[in-house]
Structure 1
């Protein structure tokens, strides 16, 4: 046990060295961004003012639609007509088409993008009709309505409208009460017969980073790219804490390409390898860490978004099993070493107490025979006092070893759970 503290210091040094090496080996890819170019001048302002006006009206029309469908005064045929007119071409059209996807907020348990269901517009409206209680007065309200700037996309202008939605009625199958939620509607603007009209193309929960601080969608302005295509396969990365936000990327020693992204904050395009992250106002970056299994995206405002590499389930299960058995084996070896150390200290203590008892007996006999006065025999030390500091190493080693065994068992249980989930998915 006299080497315990030396080994502990060596382990701490190895951990620090590993962390330093990992930081040193991080890969950083940087690109400059700007907002998609748009025309300027008085005509642009006039156009944008009209699109903003139309977008606000469209969201008000959406609110009227929801309250109309939840009114107790409509007949079934009227409800069907109102539903279809919301996405078919007509003067009352609200949604761009019947393929618009809406993140469900009719179920009161759905309160964010991480906990919802994607429904096409017709299904969403019919679920509202089926599951939301009818009333004679309005029970759905929008508040805090704000608009983004008009954004000129590659094919058409679009705009986002942010608002708080409050359902004050009840779901007729779910007992949970509704709570106010933050929503965002994205609208496409089209010039029809010389007039601007807007149509909702997306209705969803407001995601982190999608608020008014992010009014315009960034695009990579860097026109330069690799002289030849990146010779590596596309790899999916999933945003930490989300099952929906993904990036599809590939990279080499000089370039990283974002091929597809469901997270609008991360623009598509090429990113050049850099020695460090850039502090320039219009620069964004991706940083690899943990052996290229973790990808951190840094926005222009410094906000960080972390993505994790999507791994092969079979390999992941195998790795958890190997880690589990390795930790259990190391824990058992550690417990064995701790037990051996404890036994050594116990045997030494037994020898000490036996010798001290013998000496005390001889001392007492001597005092009796010689009639000498004097102090009593020395008292026996406790086991912990006698074994210090080695006993602390034994106890510490036992605690660490037990922790390894417990964690190893957890790894095996996790591997078993993952295997059952993977087998269930594979049979569907």
Structure 2
């Protein structure tokens, strides 16, 4: 009987410990409604960020250096980062013939963006639009994740293939991690929408570099980011010089304009002051003659109004305009 009692006590303790462990695991993976809603909102913003990134790369006004820098910042730690790291895989849709999932379409994010830059025709206006965004429920595996479904419209052309682009449905997967009191959400995969991709388990891309975006190590990240900046070509340097020269010309024009208005204001101020002084002098002379002829003369202000007010007002305007001209001249220094 004692042996049976010991057996029961031992197994009961084991079950209690196991239950407590499972309870802790479950509670650790349970999100509040507020957290889930916040993650879904951030996920939607990341998809809009992807849309903006593709439009920026396809903008013909940007230099090669600017496009490369935007692409690099999208998967490296930066204010513009939208992918969790450079290990993210994207199913290729740059080729207009690719419309559904198929073997061989998985492309590392760096190569995908480079191919998009190379083969998608540039334009002055935005030619890429994401519509019908549907954000799924937030689920928890090893970390919280969510899938976003959307329709992608490439309204431009490919310089590799004359086949026109068709609207395609895509699914993006994003993971969420807590940083202090805030959630950070990054893209971990982008693919063609299919039942398999919609239900697939979350992926955890491995970065090729030594840093990890989620560690939030700010100083090492900044140093590595600066080291990996793309080299500036001679063409980019000349373009920068042209922009600098244009800015200089604009500044010179502003300086000339400031000098011109300063001189005009100064002249007007001096003229107003002179008018006020002359007017006041004439009124004062008339008043003296008036006082000599009248036994009980009224005051100057009463006698000379409204002329005296006009003279004082003109002097005040002259002083104000003259002071304003000083600020214009200071701008040109």
Q: With the length of structure 1 as denominator, give the TM-score of the two structures.
A: 0.40
Post-superposition shift, 1:101?
0.7
Residues 40 and 99 of structure 1, relative CA distance in 2, 3 Å threshold: closer
**1:171 counterpart (150, 158, 182):** 158
Is 1:134 the counterpart of 2:122 in the alignment?
yes
Post-superposition shift, 1:78?
0.6
Whether the 8 Å contact between 1:166 and 1:180 is mirrored in structure 2 is yes
Residues 66 and 177 of structure 1, relative CA distance in 2, 3 Å threshold: same
Whether the 8 Å contact between 1:110 and 1:116 is mirrored in structure 2 is no
Whether the 8 Å contact between 1:151 and 1:217 is mirrored in structure 2 is no
Post-superposition shift, 1:185?
0.4
Q: Whole-Å Cα distance in 1 between the matches of residues 74 and 103 of structure 2?
A: 26
Q: Which residue in 1 is equivalent to 2:301?
A: none
Post-superposition shift, 1:91?
1.9
Q: Which residue in 2 is equivalent to 1:304?
A: none
Is 1:159 the counterpart of 2:146 in the alignment?
yes
Is 1:183 the counterpart of 2:183 in the alignment?
no
Q: Whole-Å Cα distance in 2 between the matches of residues 40 and 91 of structure 1?
A: 28
Q: Can you give the 5+ residue segments of structure 1 that lack an aligned partner in the other structure?
A: 1-35, 219-428
Residues 74 and 38 of structure 1, relative CA distance in 2, 3 Å threshold: farther
**1:200 counterpart (187, 196, 202):** 187
Q: Whole-Å Cα distance in 2 between the matches of residues 206 and 165 of structure 1?
A: 11
**Larger helix percent:** 2
Deviations 1:100-131 (A, max 9, x none): 11000000011111266211111111111110
SS at match of 1:95: coil
Residues 111 and 193 of structure 1, relative CA distance in 2, 3 Å threshold: same
Residues 96 and 40 of structure 1, relative CA distance in 2, 3 Å threshold: closer
Residues 139 and 207 of structure 1, relative CA distance in 2, 3 Å threshold: same
Deviations 1:278-319 (A, max 9, x none): xxxxxxxxxxxxxxxxxxxxxxxxxxxxxxxxxxxxxxxxxx
Post-superposition shift, 1:194?
2.2
Q: Which residue in 2 is equivalent to 1:355?
A: none
Whether the 8 Å contact between 1:38 and 1:152 is mirrored in structure 2 is no
Whether the 8 Å contact between 1:98 and 1:121 is mirrored in structure 2 is yes
Deviations 1:317-373 (A, max 9, x none): xxxxxxxxxxxxxxxxxxxxxxxxxxxxxxxxxxxxxxxxxxxxxxxxxxxxxxxxx
- May I ask how many residue pairs the two structures share in their alignment? 178
Q: Which residue in 1 is equivalent to 2:34?
A: 46
Q: Whole-Å Cα distance in 2 between the matches of residues 40 and 126 of structure 1?
A: 37
Q: Which residue in 2 is equivalent to 1:250?
A: none
Is 1:80 the counterpart of 2:90 in the alignment?
no
SS at match of 2:44: helix
Q: Whole-Å Cα distance in 2 between the matches of residues 172 and 40 of structure 1?
A: 47
Residues 49 and 174 of structure 1, relative CA distance in 2, 3 Å threshold: same
Choose 1 or 2 for highest CA Rg.
2
Deviations 1:212-251 (A, max 9, x none): xx5x969xxxxxxxxxxxxxxxxxxxxxxxxxxxxxxxxx
Deviations 1:72-114 (A, max 9, x none): 1101111111000000011211101001110000000111112
**Larger strand percent:** 1
Q: Which residue in 2 is equivalent to 1:106?
A: 94
SS at match of 2:75: coil
SS at match of 1:65: helix
Post-superposition shift, 1:193?
3.3
SS at match of 2:32: helix
RMSD between superposed Cα atoms in Å? 2.2
Q: Whole-Å Cα distance in 2 between the matches of residues 167 and 57 of structure 1?
A: 20
Q: With the length of structure 2 as denominator, give the TM-score of the two structures.
A: 0.50
